[in-house]
């Protein structure tokens, strides 16, 4: 693996590894699956707050994607819908061998195996997610149909031509060397096999507007992706934007979960109303700049709106 790739993998491990959370907490909605966001949000949330978690066949199934929102009210429903949308781009998967590249907590793999009858290999660079995925697969009784491997999508630990489908849902934005991921996908696909990919993409080549410096993610635009796919020798069968079905629904859900107004009200109450007496109030005022930090989630969300506004979301199918 080359230098930038190793650096990004370290970053991905930092983003997704929980330091003091358990899988049970995640499944109860007491923590967010993206550890980095969980750490950022936790100090500002009511400890009783519960995030909604997707469920499948009556069992919890954490997914880590922005969701496909038409008809969905909760994030879990939207996330499951996004899996079905991407699978819908492929022919019948019954008995097919599928590689899920960047598999999160194996949520999509569990749906691919239990709903579509596929044999799935998950690939993930985050050790903790690999362990937790195995627990979840056991919980869903799918050990015979879903396997999990620790490794990078840019350096796949599989023989040539063994998969019918490479499935990659909202993970490729993390891959540092996208041409290498495509070359690896082509190598492990059988002739006629397909790559199904859905992901957030940048809409600008401008380094600042891509927010790459802040998000520390190697985001590229859809035209970049198209160029990489064509150069890899895969043929592009389908490409479409679903940004309108992803971002507005996600942002509305986030606002329902954590309204900015509630955070502001909390700040004002803390600063002025909870204590009486001028001296205390002046003391409080002096601490206001610090307390301003407590509206950070609202500000981050506003920034996020801008960030997402500069994003597109693409679904594509490429064939070997």
Ligand X SMILES: C[S@@+](CC[C@H](N)C(=O)[O-])C[C@H]1O[C@@H](n2cnc3c(N)ncnc32)[C@H](O)[C@@H]1O
Residue 229 neighbours by CB distance under 10 Å: 22
Q: How many residues bind ligand X (CB under 6 A)?
A: 24
Mapped onto helix, strand or coil, the DSSP state of residue 232 is helix
CB 294 to ligand X: min, Å: 27
Nearer residue to ligand X within complex by CB, 103 or 258: 103
Q: How many CA atoms lie within 13 A of 113 on its CB side?
A: 22
Nearer residue to ligand X within complex by CB, 152 or 258: 152
Residues 50-89 that bind ligand X (CB under 6 A): 63-65
CB 259 to ligand X: min, Å: 25
**CB-CB contact of 172 with 314 (8 Å):** no
Residue 97, classified by CB atoms within 10 Å of its CB into exposed (0-12), middle (13-18) or buried (19+), is middle
Q: What interhelical angle do 127-139 and 3-16 show, nearest 10? A: 50
CB 75 to ligand X: min, Å: 11
Q: Which of 77, 143, 170, 237 is catalytic?
A: 170
CB 266 to ligand X: min, Å: 30
CA distance 270 to 218: 40
Nearer residue to ligand X within complex by CB, 200 or 263: 200
Q: Which stretch binds ligand X (CB under 6 A): 135-143, 166-174, 252-260, 309-317?
A: 166-174
**CB-CB contact of 184 with 153 (8 Å):** yes
Nearer residue to ligand X within complex by CB, 96 or 110: 110
Mapped onto helix, strand or coil, the DSSP state of residue 28 is coil
Our finding on whether 152 is near ligand X (CB under 6 A) is yes
Residue least distant from ligand X (Cβ)? 104
In terms of Cα–Cα distance, which of 181, 128, 173 is closest to 14?
Answer: 128
Among 51, 68, 163, 175, binds ligand X (CB under 6 A): 175
**CB-CB contact of 198 with 83 (8 Å):** no
Among 89, 112, 126, 234, binds ligand X (CB under 6 A): 126
CA distance 295 to 15: 22
**CB-CB contact of 246 with 66 (8 Å):** yes
- Does residue 25 carry a catalytic annotation? no
Residues 103-122 that bind ligand X (CB under 6 A): 103-104, 107-108
Our finding on whether 171 is near ligand X (CB under 6 A) is yes
Nearer residue to ligand X within complex by CB, 102 or 298: 102
CA distance 13 to 25: 19
Our finding on whether 16 is near ligand X (CB under 6 A) is yes
Report H helices in 115-200. 127-139, 178-188
Residues 252-271 that bind ligand X (CB under 6 A): none
CB 85 to ligand X: min, Å: 12
* Interacting residues toward ligand X by CB under 6 A: 9, 12, 16, 63-65, 102-104, 107-108, 123-126, 129, 152-154, 169-171, 174-175
Which residues are annotated as catalytic? 170
């Amino acid at each position: 693996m080359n230098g930038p790739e190793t650096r990004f993998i370290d970053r991905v491990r930092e983003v997704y590894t929980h330091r003091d959370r358990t899988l049970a907490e995640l499944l109860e909605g007491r923590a967010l699956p993206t550890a980095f966001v969980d750490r950022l949000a936790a100090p500002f949330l009511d400890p009783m707050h519960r995030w909604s978690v997707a469920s499948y066949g009556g069992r919890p199934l954490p997914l880590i994607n922005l969701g496909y929102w038409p008809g969905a009210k909760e994030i879990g429903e939207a996330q499951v819908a996004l899996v079905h949308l991407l699978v819908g781009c492929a022919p019948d998967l019954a008995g097919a061998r599928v590689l899920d590249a960047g598999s999160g907590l194996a949520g999509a793999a569990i749906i691919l195996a239990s709903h579509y009858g596929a044999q799935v290999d998950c690939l993930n660079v985050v050790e903790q997610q690999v362990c937790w995925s195995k627990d979840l697969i056991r919980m869903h009784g799918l050990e015979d149909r879903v396997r999990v491997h620790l490794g990078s999508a840019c350096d796949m630990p599989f023989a040539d031509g063994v998969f019918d489908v490479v499935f990659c849902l909202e993970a490729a934005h993390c891959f540092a060397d996208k041409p290498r991921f495509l070359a690896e996908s082509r190598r492990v696909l059988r002739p006629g096999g397909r790559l199904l990919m859905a992901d957030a993409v940048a809409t600008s080549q401008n380094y600042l507007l891509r927010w790459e410096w802040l998000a520390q993610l190697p985001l590229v635009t859809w035209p970049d992706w198209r160029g990489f796919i064509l150069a890899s020798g895969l043929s592009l069968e389908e490409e479409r934007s679903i940004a309108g079905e992803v971002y507005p629904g996600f942002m509305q859900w986030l606002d329902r979960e954590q309204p900015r107004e509630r955070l502001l009200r909390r700040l004002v109450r803390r600063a002025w109303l909870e204590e009486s007496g001028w001296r205390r109030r002046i003391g409080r005022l002096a601490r206001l700049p610090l307390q301003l930090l407590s509206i950070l989630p609202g500000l981050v969300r506003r920034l996020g709106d801008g960030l997402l506004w500069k994003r597109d979301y693409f679904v594509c199918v490429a064939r070997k």
